[in-house]
Amino acid sequence: MKLETISTNRSHGGTQGVYSHQSAETGTEMTVSVFVPEHADGAKLPVLWYLSGLTCTHANVTEKGEYRAACAEHGVIFVAPDTSPRGDDVPDAEGEYDFGKGAGFYVDATEQPWAAHYRMRSYIERELPEAIAANFPADMARQSITGHSMGGHGALTIGLRNPERFRSISAFSPIVAPGEVPWGEKALGRYLGTDRASWREYDGVALIEGGARHDHILVDQGTADDFLVEQLRTHRLAEACEAAGLDATIRLQAGYDHSYYFISTFMAEHVAWHTERLKR
């Protein structure tokens, strides 16, 4: 798959690029941010995927995530795709920040008019990895995944569904049980329909309760996050992991909110934590 270069910048000895390509899954042009550290000729580097939250594009973490120094230090490629399909032909929910464009929820929609373009699960799980493998010095046998909020939900569900692909999963303030909270009920109900059984493969807590397992899970959640009680419900993930005997690390960070001030504070720790598992 051919990628068109939108921009490249030298950073921490490596290259921060932004690229676009035509997606067969979404039927639209998609944009992705990729940081490649300095490396020896012929070297293949592990990959850390980052999935962004509601209203975000690739740009939010690229500009505010502060991941490049850590990725350069540890020799890790950082891939940050967009959160939904874009374009004039893509249906949207006007005036609704939590549904439609910018709110793909990393699902393959089955309901109209969303089904034709909102195929973010297949885009992230199948199509984009092929493009990364073809265009960058990526070792696709060594991948991990992280994300924030809606993207934390994406990281948990994609990682739990594909434990053989992702060596580790982390998240910042994730929506851990979307089937139980307003954001998730709205999105899953409209993208997938009213049969709640079909929602379970897009719900981290439900996946664990249904038998999904992963040995390496790290979650950071700020205690001053305005969305914690109603939308994120981090305690539900802790309960599910404890009941399943999963040794997950779930940390409550005192005084931190939902913003990139929080994410950037702990980003280097997450990169280092993933690196330990990517280089084993």
Catalytic residue set: 149, 225, 258
Residue 158: name the closest of 116, 122, 186 by CA: 122
For residue 101, how far is the Cα from the chain centroid?
16
Q: Supply φ then ψ for residue 260, to 5 degrees.
A: -75, -10
What CA–CA distance (Å, rounded) separates 276 from 280? 7
Residue 242 parent element (H or E)? helix 234-244
Residue 199 and residue 214: Cα distance in Å, rounded?
A: 20
Q: How far apart are CA 227 and CA 172, in angstroms?
A: 12
User: Greatest CA separation found in the chain?
Assistant: 52
